Amino acid sequence: MSGNKKVNRRSIQRTPPEDVSFFSLKGYIIAVTIALMLALIPPLMFDFNFSVLFTKYGLWYIAYYLIMSAVVYRFILYFVKVNYSKHLKKISEATRSVAKGDFSVEIELDETLKDNSYINVMFRDFNLMVAELKSIESLKDDFISNVSHEIKTPLSVINNYTNALKNEDLPEKLRKEYMEIIIESTEKLSDLVSNILKLNKIENRRISSEQKEFDLSRQLSDCLLSFESVWEEKNIDISVELEDRVIITENFALLDIIWHNLLSNAFKFTENGGTISLIQTSDDEFITVKIKDTGCGFDEETKSHIFDKFYQGDTSHAEEGNGLGLALVQKIAERNNYEISVESEIGKGTEFTVKIKK
C-alpha cells in the first residue's frame, strides 16, 4: 500500500505519564547484588574468616544488610524524583499543552541549578521552540487573513459591476467600462491565486527544480520587451546594458519570475517620463543583474519589510498588485542561493541587485 496517511492529532490517545516509583523489586535486587559484590571485595582481599562471622551473626548481618540496602535504594529513588522527575513532569505537561495548540507555554528555569546545566539548557531550548512555533502560527493566521482580504476585494468588485450590468437601460459606454473593470478584477484575482500557489510550491520545494542551459541576456531582453506597451504608454526611457551572450545553467522559469516581478515593480513605481535601467555584468565569480528606476523610492522602514508577504509600502499603488511579487523573488533567491539586495532613496528611485554565482 502506498501514499501518505494523515494523522489527526486530536484522535491520538494520550495517557498521563507515570511518576518515578518509590520501589521496584527488580531495581532493588540489582542494587543489593551490586552492593553485595562490592561489600565482599575487602574481606576477600584480606583473607577474612567468613565461618566465624556467619556462625555468630549471620542472620542478623543478612537482615541488617537487606534493610540498609532498601533504605539506600529508596533514598536514591527519592533523589532521582526530586532532581529529575519534577523537571520531566514540567516538560511533559508543557509539551501536552503545546500539542493542544497552546503556544503561550513557557517553562521557568530552575534557579537551584547552574544556568548551563542540562535541565536548564533543555528548558531554554523548549521555550525557544515554542516561541518559533508561535511565530509560525501567527504568520499563518496573518497570511490567511491577508489572502481572505485580497480575494474578497476583487470578488466584491466583480459582484457589484455584474449586478449593475443586469440593468437593461445601462448605456453601452458604461456597459463596456463595467466589463473592463470586471476583466481587470478577474485578472487580478487570477494573478493572486497563481502567486499564492507558486509561493506555496517554492516554500514546500514542490516546484520543478529542473535546470537547463540558456542565454541569460536573451531572457532579460525578452522579459523587458514584454513591458513595451507599458513604457510607451508612460513615456519611460529605457537604458539597457547587457553582454552579447551569457550562457548559464539554471532554472529558467524561476529566474523569469524574478525578472518579471522586479521589472513590474520598476514600471509600477516609475512616473511618466521617468527612466528604467537594466544592467547585466559578469566577473570571475558572479553574474550580476541590476534593475534601477527613478520612481518614488522608499525609506528604511519600508526596506525592512519589502520582502514580506502582502506588504505594500506605497499604498497609492496597492490596487496594481497584491504584495506577493517580492516575497516570491526572495523565496526563489533563497532556494537557489542567489544574492539579492535593494537600495532606495525617497524621491530618487530604487535599485535591485541580483547576483548569480558562476
- Domain extents for the chain? 212-357
Residue whose grid cell is 532498601: 70
- The pLDDT of residue 252 is 87
**36 Cβ contact list (under 8 Å, min separation 6):** 65
- The pLDDT of residue 294 is 93
The Cα–Cα gap between 108 and 93 comes to 13
> Low-confidence residues of the chain, pLDDT below 50?
1-20, 22, 315-321
The Cα–Cα gap between 68 and 89 comes to 30
- Give pairs for 295-299: CB < 8 Å, separation 24+: 295/266, 295/268, 295/269, 295/270, 295/271, 295/349, 295/350, 296/269, 296/271, 296/346, 296/347, 296/349, 297/344, 297/345, 297/346, 297/347, 297/348, 297/349, 297/350, 298/344, 298/346, 298/350, 299/346
- The pLDDT of residue 310 is 59
pTM > 0.95:
no
| 3.40.50.620, 3.30.2310.20, 3.30.565.10, 3.40.50.300: CATH of 212-357 | 3.30.565.10
- The pLDDT of residue 219 is 94
Render pLDDT for 280-292 as a digit per residue (tens, 0 to 9).
999 989 999 999 9
The Cα–Cα gap between 304 and 297 comes to 13
- The pLDDT of residue 20 is 44
Torsional class of 213: left (φ above 0), alpha (ψ -120 to 50), beta (otherwise): beta
Count how many residues are written for the chain.
358
Render pLDDT for 10-19 as a digit per residue (tens, 0 to 9).
443 444 444 4
State the sign of the Cα–Cα–Cα–Cα dihedral 171, 172, 174, 179: positive
Residue whose grid cell is 507515570: 18
Give the dihedral of Cα atoms 255, 260, 261, 262; nearest 10 deg. Answer: 90
CA angle 202, 205, 206 (to 5 degrees): 90
Render pLDDT for 232-278 as a digit per residue (tens, 0 to 9).
999 999 999 999 999 999 888 889 889 988 998 899 889 999 999 99
The Cα–Cα gap between 310 and 141 comes to 13
Of 259, 280, 267, which is closest to residue 237 (Cα–Cα)?
267
- The pLDDT of residue 7 is 37
